[in-house]
Each structure stands twice: as structure tokens, then as C-alpha cells.
Structure 1
Amino acid sequence: MNAISKDHINTSLIKGNCINDDRMDAIINNNDKDAINNNDMYPNLCFTNDITNEQILYNGKQDNMNVVDPDYSINNDINNMPDCISKNEENNSYTSKNTISSELNLEKSEELSDDISIVYSYVVNDSKRQMNSNNELISINIAIDEDNKYVLRKKINKLPFFRYGHFLCLTKNGYILAIGGTDGRKKYALIEKYCQEKKKWKQINLMHFSRSNFCGICTGDNNLYVLGGEGNQHILKSVEYYDSKINSWRSLPPLNCVRHSASAIIFHNTIFIIGGKDGIGNYGKVHKSVEMLNLNEKNMKWKMCKSLKQARLALVAIVFDNKIYAIGGSTGVKNLKSVEIYDFKRNEWTDGPSLNFARSNFVAFPWKNHLVVYGGINNTNGEFLNCAEILKEKTNRWMLLNEILEN
């Protein structure tokens, strides 16, 4: 999932300086106007603070963003994360899966100053049990009606795309990037850009490795991170990132565990990857494990963190209220409605409020001081779960949103 508002600002992510010596030359010409450039990439989610009218940048599903103090470092231990985060840090960190600390009073019929736009990809089975890739650009507006109920209005634009298991990302100028994925026969390393006016895709770059069902992260300094996934022959533990300054992909240290269908976030310049699976189909195990990589360290290495209570894949991880929320997903047999919350200070996962509907492969984003989930797949019949839920801080429970589809 990936989302962005109509207006944007640039925000920088402090990047670690330890990079694999194996380098890859730029595949595309820096003079190519269709190349990914330093002003083109934007994070997964962005919307406007109603009070200050300053932009707050976030990232979504498989994905996330972060702005930090360059002097901050996590010293080999997740316990060294700060107990509390400054107002500016809260407003500039969103992990798939973040925290909205602005004290906003919700009035009746109050709406966002700008719609939230989401690019969302999911796969459903047709009547012949063939998998069909659905790719959508969705404009979302949330309001409170006269009965004090939440209303979600959405407008959906279909995107022509045949692959699945890929990562979608929005750009500043209205383009959409599709990265990797599979057509059911082989995996791809392609990066393609979509022009909405021409309704065409154009190849602009390549990753080191072909992969599908990987974690994708898009950051405020225009870099991309991809982690794990399914390769043509094996499940992957490789990690690479796109450096927008030199227009090239570079390698980062590999994960400790191979995994696909996990969820990854960036928080305080540290990447976390959560859950996933190490095998295909009925083979392999679903992970409880969590790994972290501190991008500030000179000798970067993935470290194991406190494991989830419930193994899960196809989940959404997001930082909200200074904690990591691991929401929904699947055990590999059935979808989950359970939610786990990681407290940095206590270094433990606790049970959070359960969703109304079990769901996997969905999206989540913050709205003011609330958290919203949308979409997902119903594992009983493989159909799309066309409903949204909102988590209210005060009641600490999920409520269904009334939805209105606009043509």
C-alpha cells in the first residue's frame, strides 16, 4: 500500500554509511526525464495537519518513512529506543504501517482539508479459481456525519497491471511506480512508472534480484528499500535500496531469516521487519520473529528482537501512539483479527483490541489521532473485503465506517 495527499513537502531520512562493497552501476541515464530522480519519490502517506497546515509525512503497508535526529543511535539493543518521542518526531514517522499527536477536536461534519490517496494492490480468485491482479488508485475522505458516525467516501480508479506480489509507490508528479512482482510463471526485477494521462507503463530501472511478495519501503529522502520476498528459485533474505542521489541500487546486509509476506517499517532510522513465512504454499513455517537494522551504525547487521506472540504473515505493521502495532494477517491457514502492540520501553508485545473482521493483505494509515484499516482478503472464499475500520483512542476499540462510493 502506498498513499499520499495532494500537496507535498520534501523531508530527509538520515541514511547509514555502511554499504556492501558490491556495487551496481546506474542502469538508467541520469539525463532521462523518465528516470527516478531526487525530487520524484515520495513517502507512502502524507496529509496535512489542520492546525499548522504543515505537512506530516508517513508511509504505508508494506511500507514506511522516518525523520530523525542525525545524532540519534540505537546501541545494538531495542531497549535503547526513547521512552517518548518529541512532537516533531511523532509527526514525521509513520510505519505501516504512526503516531498522530496533534490535539484535534472532532466536530460534526468535520473533514480532512485534503483527501488521502492510496495505491492498493490485491489479488482475488475468479469463478475459474484463477488469480486476478487488482490495482487501484483510491481517493479517501473521512468525515463525521450528523449522527456522530464516521463516514468514509472513496473514489476508485483502476490501474491496468497484470503482475501481482509487487510494491506500488506514488510520486510527487502524479506517477505511480510498480516494483517487482510475478506473472505466475516467473518473478521480475522491473521498476515501471505509470503515466495516468497516457495510461501506460514504462520501464525505468531494475533491482538486483527478481522478487515478489517482498517488503517495500519508500522514504522521504526519495530512497526505496526492498526486503526479502520470493525469488525465482528460493525465498530471499537479501536487502537492497535505491539511492536516488546516484540513481542506482545498492546492497544492504542480508536478513537473518529468509521471509516473504512480512511487514517492514522504518522508525528512528532503524528498519524493522516483522513476521512473514520461509516457505511456499504448504511448506515452511510462519514467522513470529522480528529483526531490526540500525542504519546509523557503520557495521550494520540485522539483530533479532522480541518475537510476536502469534506467528503471522500478510500483516500490517504501523507505529501508532509511540508503539508498533502488528495488525491482522494470516496464520497460513486462517486470517486473523487479533492485534499485538509492542512497547519499546517494556520490550514486550501485548494484546491489542481485535478487528471486527479478520483480514490479510490490507492497508492501514493514521487519520488525526485515529488509526484506519481498509480492504483485505476474506480467506473463506478469496473475495475482497470491502470495508474499513477505525480505532478510537478513547474507547480503544475498532468501529466500522459507513462507506460511500463515488463515481
Structure 2
Amino acid sequence: MVVSRCEFGLCALDGYLYAMGGWVDTDISGSIERYDPKIDEWRLVGTLPEPRFSMGLVSYEGLIYMVGGCSLNQRNLQDLMSYNPFSGEWKKLPSMSVARFQMGVAVLDDFLYVVGGTNRQQVLNSVERYSFKTNKWSTVPPMSVERSGPAVAAMDGLLYVIGGAQTHATPFYRAQCTISSVECFDPMTNSWADCPPLSETRAEAGAVVI
């Protein structure tokens, strides 16, 4: 990448990878860079409304959606914004009901799902989803366990939530105890089911569907 960073948001849109924000050395970044696999090149393409890290990032129908995370002045954000990579325009959308960071996000059936995370006081098992069609948030039944930094992916009409971390100590920044459990949500039945666990515990991992 052009800028070395961690705890940034990453998503794919129209054949490009977009990396936004994150930690850069001891600073919080507000830069956006894009990877073009055709020419094997990263380049800076824009900026965030304000620097932030540990947010969720997804793409849907030509736009990138950024939710939650932490900024320099506020550790628990609950806002949702859309970004048009062609015009560079950011647009504020309705906020989540719960401020959170280090959560998992994924798109399933015209909804943006926001799963778990933390608000510095506790690790969360709560789940909510945003409808791209109605521009409204709604709650989803909670997961069976709290998860910070889970890997999340949607496949065959189900939402899979994989691993993550938990802690019993407060106040804290990073959750301490990684877990191996996996569960999936079925929107048709509005319920969660247990899935086979990982072979080893992990948190802040990535998951993709190919």
C-alpha cells in the first residue's frame, strides 16, 4: 500500500480494493487508497470526513458504506455514511442504535449487518441491520456469545460469524480471550444456529466467499 496501516476498513467495489483510515504509526489516518489489480498499483484517491479506525466497511450498488469505529475525539461511533468513489461525496445516513467498534460487517439480501464488537465497557453480542431499500435500521436477535473482532461472511442466504474475542476486564482496549465458535443467522427463520468450530481460536481474522 502507499501508506502502512492497521485496523483499517477494506472492501471491494467495481474491480478495485479500497482501504480507508486505520492506525498509521501513532496517528489515526483519514486517507483512502485504492488498489487496481490490472496494473498492480495502489494510489491515494481521497479522504475520510475525519480520521477513524476499527470501523466496518462494505460496498453495495456502486457505493461504499462506513459504519461505527473510533475517531480521535470519540472512541465509540454509531454513525453510518456512504461514499461515492466517483464524485468523492460523503453522505450521512441514519445511525446505529448502539455505538460500537471492532465489529463484524457483511451484506446479505439488501441489508448491511453489523455484528458484535465492543463499546469499551463490554464486548457485545447484539446485532442490527440497515436496509439499503428503506434507509432504516432494525434489530436482529443477539448471538449466543459476545464477540469482538469476529470474521463475518454471507453465503447461500446465511450470515456466518466466525471466532472473535471476549474479555472480563474493564476498562480495556483490546479484548483478551480469543474463541473458536462459529454461528450462522438465517433471515428466513430469524434465528441463529451453531456451526462447526474453528480448529483454533482466533480474532480479527478475515473471511471471504469464493
Q: Bin the TM-score by the shorter chain.
A: 0.7 to 0.9
Alignment partner, residue 319 of structure 1: 107
Structure exhibiting the larger radius of gyration computed from Cα positions: 1
Q: State the 1:294 CA deviation.
A: 1.8
TM-score (norm 2): 0.84
Alpha-carbon separation, structure 2, partners of 1:251 and 1:400: 41
TM-score (norm. length: structure 1): 0.45
Distance 2:50 2:93 in 1: 13
**Residue number in structure 2 paired with 1:226:** 19
Q: For structure 2, which runs of at least 5 residues remain unmatched after alignment? A: 170-175, 201-210
Q: How does 1:284-363 map to 2 (within 5 A)?
A: 284-295=74-85, 297=86, 299-363=87-151
Query: Which is bigger in relative contact order (C-alpha 8 A, separation at least 6)?
Result: 1
1:367-378 correspondence runs (5 A) = 367-378=155-166
The answer as to whether partners of 1:253 and 1:301 remain within 8 angstroms in 2 is no
Q: Distance in 2 between matches of 1:404 and 1:364?
A: 13
| Residue of structure 2 equivalent to 1:217 | 11
Secondary structure of residue in 2 paired with 1:340:
strand
Query: In 2, distance between residues paired with 1:402 and 1:317?
Result: 21
Post-superposition offset of 1:402 = 4.3
Q: Report what 1:264 is aligned to.
A: 57
Following the alignment from structure 1 to structure 2, what is the Cα–Cα distance between the partners of residues 274 and 284? Answer: 14
**Residue 336 of structure 1, CA deviation:** 0.7
Corresponding letter in the other structure for 1:238: S
State the distance in 1 between where 2:71 and 2:198 align: 39
Task: Output one character per residue of 1:345-364: Cα deviation in whole Å (capped at 9) or x when no partner.
Answer: 32111111111111011111
Which amino acid is 1:289 matched to? Answer: D
Gaps of at least 5 residues in structure 1 are 1-206
Match of 1:401 in 2: 195
State the Cα distance separating 1:220 from its structure 2 match.
7.0
1:178-193 correspondence to structure 2 within 5 Å: none
Instruction: Tell whether the 8 Å contact from 2:20 to 2:32 is kept in structure 1 after alignment.
Output: yes
> Which one-letter code corresponds to 1:240 in the other structure?
E
Alpha-carbon distance between aligned partners in 1 of 2:186 and 2:91, rounded to the nearest angstrom: 33
Name 1:244's counterpart in structure 2. 37
Higher strand share: 2
* Matched residue type, 1:209: V
Q: Which runs of structure 2 are paired with 1:150-169 in the superposition (5 Å)?
A: none
- Percent of aligned pairs sharing the same letter: 28
2:27 counterpart SS class? coil
Q: For 1:152-204, what per-residue CA distance to the aligned partner results, in whole angstroms no more than 9, with x for missing partners?
A: xxxxxxxxxxxxxxxxxxxxxxxxxxxxxxxxxxxxxxxxxxxxxxxxxxxxx
Alignment-derived partner of residue 385 in structure 1: 179
User: For residue 193 of structure 2, what is the amino acid of its counterpart?
Assistant: M
